[in-house]
Amino acid sequence: MLVSILKSKIHRAVVTDTFLNYEGSCAIDEILLDKANISEYEMLHVYNLNNGKRFTTYAIKAKKNSGAVTLNGAAAHLAKKDDLIIICTYGQIEIKNVKKIPPTLVYLEKNTNKISHIKNQIPIQC
């Protein structure tokens, strides 16, 4: 049996800009994409911490070391500059492999798009 499982997460990214009149997507600094194991054109699930909106789009590369995380096209209506978002990807794997393939979790410094640390496990919640 296949199950959908968290593959990658960029936690608390800051939206650096929005561009309504652009082909829909989410541009993410190439370094963040690489460290989070997110491929260009991969489907993204985006969760806006400021307004609670959740949506899907796809990843495109932004300039390396730019710190850019921009929402383009229709997604530009769902967040504004300086909103905090969580970006996730999911993959389908055999249920027997769930514990063998951990997610890549990229945590960012407060109010920046600079990497604080990377983990592969979320602590048990209370």
Per-residue confidence band for 66, with pLDDT thresholds at 50, 70 and 90: very high
Which CATH code is given to the segment(s) 2-119?
Answer: 2.40.40.20
Reported pTM = 0.96
H-helix or E-strand spanning residue 107: strand 104-108
Q: Over 80: is that where the pLDDT of 125 sits?
A: yes
Domain ranges of the chain: 2-119
Question: Dihedral of the CA atoms 82, 69, 9, 25 (nearest 10)?
Answer: 120
Q: Over 80: is that where the pLDDT of 22 sits?
A: yes
Q: Over 90: is that where the pLDDT of 126 sits?
A: no
The mean of the pLDDT values for the chain is: 96
Give one DSSP letter per residue of 12-52, joined into a string: EEEP-EEESSS-SEEEEEHHHHHHTT--TT-EEEEEETTT-
Tell me the catalytic residues: 25, 58
